[in-house]
C-alpha cells in the first residue's frame, strides 16, 4: 500500500482528519526523506508556504504523527528533538553517525546487530521490537 494512503487510513482509524495544515507538515517530511528535521526546521518551511500558521500547529501535528507511528522521534544529544518519516517500504533499522564537531547526521544502512539480536532472543527469549544505535565521532 502506498505510504500516503497508509498514513491517511491510520489517521482516519484514530479519528484524525487530514487538514490542509497537517497535509503541509506531512508533505515537508515526505519531501525531506532521509533528513532529520526539528520542529523549528519544519516551522521555517511551513511559514514560507503558510505564514499564518503557528509553531503550536507544528508541535501538535508532529506529536500526532509520532503517536500514529508515521514519524520517529530521535535525540542526538544536542537538546533538540528531530524526526524522520517511517516508511514501511524502506529499511527501518539504520544507524546514525553524529559528528560532535559540526552536528552532521549521516544514516548508515548496514545492519550491524542482526546476529546479536538473534543471540539475545535465543539465550533469553527476549524479542526485540526496536532499537536505536548512534555513533558519535568526527566526520571527515
pTM of the model: 0.70
User: What whole-number distance in Å separates Cα of residue 120 and Cα of residue 128?
Assistant: 8
- Which DSSP string corresponds to 13-42? HTT----HHHHHHHHHHHHTTT--EEHHHH
* Architecture field, domain 91-140: 2-Layer Sandwich (3.30)
Q: Is 58 exposed, middle or buried (0-12, 13-18, 19+ CB in 10 A)?
A: buried
User: What whole-number distance in Å separates Cα of residue 108 and Cα of residue 57?
Assistant: 32
| The pLDDT value given to residue 125 | 93
Nearest to 71 by CA among 56, 90, 80, 84: 84
Nearest to 109 by CA among 89, 95, 130: 95
What is the domain class of 1-90 according to CATH?
Answer: mainly alpha
Q: What DSSP character marks residue 79?
A: S
User: What whole-number distance in Å separates Cα of residue 42 and Cα of residue 25?
Assistant: 7
User: What whole-number distance in Å separates Cα of residue 46 and Cα of residue 96?
Assistant: 26
pLDDT tens column, 101-123: 887 777 776 666 778 888 889 99
| The pLDDT value given to residue 92 | 57
Query: Does this chain's domain 1-90 share its CATH topology with 91-140?
Result: no
Q: Is 97 exposed, middle or buried (0-12, 13-18, 19+ CB in 10 A)?
A: middle
pLDDT tens column, 21-77: 999 999 999 999 888 899 999 999 999 988 988 999 999 999 999 999 899 898 877
Lookup: cell for 9: 487510513
Lookup: cell for 71: 514519524
Residue extents of the structural domains in the chain: 1-90, 91-140
| The pLDDT value given to residue 78 | 80
Amino acid at each position: 500500500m502506498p505510504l500516503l494512503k497508509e498514513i491517511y487510513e491510520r489517521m482516519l482509524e484514530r479519528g484524525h482528519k487530514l487538514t490542509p495544515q497537517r497535509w503541509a507538515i506531512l508533505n515537508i517530511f515526505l519531501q525531506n526523506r532521509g533528513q532529520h528535521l526539528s520542529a523549528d526546521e519544519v516551522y521555517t518551511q511551513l511559514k514560507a508556504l503558510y505564514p499564518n500558521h503557528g509553531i503550536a500547529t507544528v508541535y501538535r501535528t508532529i506529536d500526532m504523527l509520532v503517536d500514529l507511528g508515521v514519524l520517529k522521534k530521535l535525540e542526538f544529544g544536542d537538546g533538540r528533538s528531530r524526526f524522520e518519516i517511517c516508511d514501511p517500504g524502506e529499511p527501518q533499522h539504520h544507524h546514525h553517525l553524529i559528528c560532535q564537531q559540526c552536528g552532521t547526521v549521516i544514516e548508515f544502512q548496514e545492519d550491524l546487530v542482526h546476529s546479536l539480536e538473534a543471540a539475545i532472543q535465543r539465550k533469553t527469549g527476549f524479542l526485540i521490537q526496536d532499537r536505536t544505535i548512534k555513533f558519535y565521532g568526527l566526520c571527515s
